[in-house]
Amino acid sequence: MCLFSYFAVLCRKIVPFKLADIGEGIKEVNVKEWYVNVGDHVKQFDSICQVQSDKASVTITSRYDGVISKLYYEVDDVAQVGDPLVDIETDKDTEETHRPDESDDSSSSSSSSSEDEKSQPQVLKQKVLATPAVRKIAMENSIKLSDVAGTGKDGRVLKEDIMRHIQGGAPPAATPVATPTPVAVPTPAAVPAPTPARISPIPVVPAVSIPIGKDKTEPIKGVRKAMVKSMTEANSVPLFGYCDEIDVTKLVFLRESAKAVTAATGMKFSYMPFIIKATSMALHQFPILNASVDKECENITYLAAHNIGIAMDTIEGLIVPNVKNVQSLSVYEIAAELNRLHALGLEGKLSTADMTGGTFSLSNIGAIGGTYAKPVVLPPQVAIGALGKFQVLPRFDEEGNVKKTHIMNVSWSADHRVIEGATMARFSNVWKAYLENPATMTIHLR
């Protein structure tokens, strides 16, 4: 060994790089994806790995320059806060320049895709970009990710790309990413004549690979483990259920116009932004439904912000991010925020802030199918609504003639310890009135 390398070895030190406290009382996380391998050189702020807690997905970034000498976990393993994630062989200089305001723990950043892409080390840029969930689908279907045309940011392979690959389709032309920029409203003549809403086909879900004739037991992890906890807690709440049918014919036509107006931005404009806004407007009259109760149900807090949680079906399981301060947002702003949450949710990249602080929830199970449901309130919230699918059905008009109508069913559940059935029914009537005559929502516009 030459004198220089001998000296270099002497100066190097192996530092166990620990998983820092992520906050929100999170004690453990699932390791979702490694961005480094043993032998890789990392710099401060380079991404080390992606971890998933029951609240959010977080990118762990390095605090040192050095060489990775050990990974403590495999993908899908559970890592405890405070335990080492990796060993990094650092040199003395690096150690002295590391971020001064932190202990020896790892640093974490709530992920936003753009930040992630910037901070990912060179090794990541050379491989096919995809979330672990997408990799799993590819593996289960014996598909090489490099054979799939990725339509996500920087060529990231999305779930839709895999599905399309399975079905043998070509990738669609690139669509611009939705941003909440103001839209030039076209003249009435430019808006195409309204047509009835189209219900999207149910996507093909790839089969979970279970060997034929053999049982398979696996640990419940990540988002599904969080569901075990939250639903067990929810089960202690006595629920009151209330259902109704809403004539959404006018809303269907309004949505078509909104879609036409915003089509140029590439933003998806579903029924949800109107439904979310109508919920907030009805909550104004029933603040007890936008409230939280303490564990023993001794106190109720009426909440100022209408942070409406939206149940989202993702490959990792059910998540409920929330649109914050709906009371101050326009329908357009709600649509933009919903687009952002939906995109991040499908990528498993929602931040802790997006996932916490919800005050009331909606579950659009009708996007998948069905009419009525039995939603479960998410404590400490006190109410939730489930929406059925929009259906074209015959109904009678005021003269007794049969007319073609768009119908959506709603199923409310409320914490019956603090919410009376009559309150839920009155709230539902106000909400229904807004949705059946969406023009009435505009009289509250500022």
Binding residues (CB under 6 A) for ligand CAO: these are 197-200, 270-272, 310-313, 318, 338, 342, 363-368, 387, 389-390
- Token pair in block for residue 152: 């996500």
Closer CB to ligand CAO, 67 or 326, in the complex: 326
**Please, which residue, 90 or 363, has the CB nearer to ligand CAO?**
363
359 near 303, Cβ under 8 Å?
A: yes
**Of residues 203 and 421, the one with the C-beta less far from ligand CAO:** 203
Per-residue exposure over 57-93, b if at least 16 CB sit within 10 Å of its own CB, e if not: bbbbbbbbbbbbeebbbeebeebebeebbbbbbbbee
For ligand CAO, which is the closer residue by CB, 60 or 350? 350
Task: Give the burial class of 227: count Cβ atoms within 10 A of its Cβ; 0-12 exposed, 13-18 middle, 19 or more buried.
Answer: middle
Helix H or strand E encompassing 245 = strand 239-247
Smallest gap from Cβ 170 to ligand CAO, in A, equals: 19
Shortest reach from residue 387's CB to ligand CAO, in Å: 5
The DSSP 8-state label assigned to residue 105 in this structure reads B
Angle at 428 between CA 426 and CA 430, to 5 degrees: 75
| Residues acting as catalytic residues | 416
Q: Shortest approach of ligand CAO to residue 344 CB, angstroms?
A: 11
The least distance separating ligand CAO from the CB of residue 302, rounded to whole angstroms, comes to: 26
Q: Find the residue with minimal CB distance to ligand CAO.
A: 366
Strand pairing class (312-314; 317-319): antiparallel
90 touches 17 (CB < 8 A): no
Question: In whole angstroms, how close is the CB of 317 to ligand CAO at the nearest point?
Answer: 9
- Specify the length of the chain in residues: 446
- Report the relative pairing of strands 360-363 and 383-387 from DSSP bridges: parallel
The nearer residue to ligand CAO, 49 or 441, going by C-beta atoms, is 441
